[in-house]
Chain A
Amino acid sequence: MTEGSGEPQGGAPVKQAPEAVAPAQLRVQRATLSSRIGLAVGVAVVVVLALGPLWALDSVLRTLISFLTLLALAQMWNLLAGYAGLVSIGQQAYVGLGAYALLLFADTLGLPLLVSVLVAGVVGTLVALPTALLAFRLRGGYFAIGTWVIAEVYRLVITNVSQLGGGSGLTLRAASAFDRTTRLFLTYELALAVGVGAVAVTYLLLRRRLGLALTAVRDSEQSAQSLGVPVFRAKLVAYLVAAFGCSLAGAVIYLNLLRVQPEAAFSVNWTAFMIFIVLIGGVGTIEGPIIGTIVFFVLQETLSGYGAWYLVLLGAVAVLVTLLARRGLWGLVADRTGWSLFPVQRRLEER
């Protein structure tokens, strides 16, 4: 300033500071009434589902397997896009990798099925590490296509390896060690574990510091970086977790379907479904993908007779939801009711 000295003139009274609330009287609270109810209901639902083989028809179990694995995939895509800001259209890479890893370890190497499924998840994660290092050099839309290209690379490499069945694929033979019913029950329980696990892991991850870091990154990467948030590490962890989840889900999906073909296993439709589910249900919420998967299944059942028009509708809904109802169905519900079944936000409350 060029004029004046900046010194306060005499006689100006100083205002009193407001009463401060002593720290001991405040606490950080996360759970809400709705979340406590939701938790109780959720546990009950999981228990009922776990007992599925006792009360459900085979066909119902098969539908649930599809539902649970798709839910897992959707939660993983949501973790990436809704929380880490990484819009990937290449998650099908891990679905395919999981399937082929299962084939490799269960059939070729003769490991027990359960172990093979787990190892499939690990394999996906291991491949995801160098993949992330490459893909993270791109941002935004280019990152999206980059992940797609990488998925294509995996598909092409596998298609060109005849030991893995080449273009026509292979059938999982290790599963025939069990009789049909046992295999169904086993696959179902695995699917339940993967589905519930995906929701649980996402929720637990986001409750920790990683969750805060990711939210900061999603909101503004530059600001987060300038505040010392380990942006790269947070994104990498999210990407690896998502790879693990998608690979596990892929292994279970093909444990159910039995026949693995590269075009189907690495199809971008997997990602298209993930995107649709998360968009409809609500990006950036954990409850969203659950609702989205339900809606997706209902739509699939009712519209499957209409051929390609069904997909046109999916695409149109995705576009409309993105532009008009950014927060999806769960967003609409949460806005009105304030419910939060999987609360990751923290509030200050007085004791």
Chain B
Amino acid sequence: MPLLEVDRLASFYGDFQALFDVTLAVDEGETVAVIGANGAGKSTLLRTVAGLQDRATGTVAFDGRPLDGVPTHRRLGLGIAMVPEGRRIFPSLTVEENLKVGVVRGRPGRWDLASVLELFGALADKRGRPGSLLSGGEQQMLAIGRALMANPRLLLLDEVSLGLAPLVVRRIYETLPEICGAGATVVVVEQDVGQALAGADRVYCLLEGRVALHGRPADLTREQITDAYFGLGGPGGSSLAPRSNP
């Protein structure tokens, strides 16, 4: 049984519908990448799984159990942790406090203060520094570390490469195998398609709120991905009607 099952999900911001009829599944231990252009609904998908969306229809099931009505703060205890878009570490808390604040509902496991600081060596010297004084890359590492402190079974990463230098992004992605090796299932939303395809077992491509393409990176051609990404017509590509403007 898949660890995460999303079935016919529709998600709204007020009256605006951002996701239409999205169905996907993630098996335990997999790394799944979700790609798509701006506004495709990638972040909305993760937010809905994390419970942050006000209104959504369809089902999200975690480990067989539907998450309807489970408030966000309780999902951490179930094993779902999200690293939100834009890092959103707590600026007035220090690095150490940022990490410690997340252990309210954590589960036992490999990750604790010492092991997280070991994973992200750059943060170890800055334990006492307030979050607001960290660089973008350090904040991203801190945000991931904060999520890890709860020893999640499912880790949702939303656009970790946004606004960061390529070197920093690579270094962050280098820690992924260790995170997965410790048993986490990872869903990563990425604008950087190359990075996403390189590390993922499977990939979903979203276009304007729907799944346009999915499969193993090795099985998909560059043409197929481009088509699905930009919503272009053509044989053997996207499942959507052609549009004049992506």
Contacts and interface: CB of A to CB of B under 8 A. Distances in A.
Answer yes or no: A and B touching, Cβ < 8 Å.
yes
Interface of A: 1-6, 8-9, 11-15
Given A9-B227, A15-B244, 11 more contacts: A2-B193, A2-B194, A3-B194, A3-B222, A3-B226, A4-B225, A4-B226, A4-B229, A9-B233, A11-B234, A12-B233
B50 to A, nearest CB: 25
A58 to B, nearest CB: 55
Nearest to A5: B226
Contacts of B234: 9, 11-12
22 contacts: A1-B37, A1-B191, A1-B193, A1-B229, A2-B193, A2-B194, A3-B193, A3-B225, A3-B229, A4-B222, A4-B229, A4-B230, A5-B226, A9-B233, A11-B233, A11-B234, A12-B233, A12-B234, A12-B242, A13-B242, A14-B244, A15-B244
Contacts of A12: 232-234, 242-244
A27 to B, nearest CB: 26
B192 interface: yes
A9 B237 CA distance: 12
Contacts of B225: 3-4
Residue with the highest number of chain A CB atoms closer than 10 Å, among B191, B193, B230: B230
A13 B192 CA distance: 29
Interface in B214-246: 222, 225-227, 229-230, 232-234, 242-244, 246
Nearest to A16: B244
Contacts of B222: 3-4
Nearest to A2: B194
Contacts of B230: 4, 6
Contacts of A11: 233-234
Contacts of A15: 243-244
A80 B243 CA distance: 48
A347 to B, nearest CB: 19
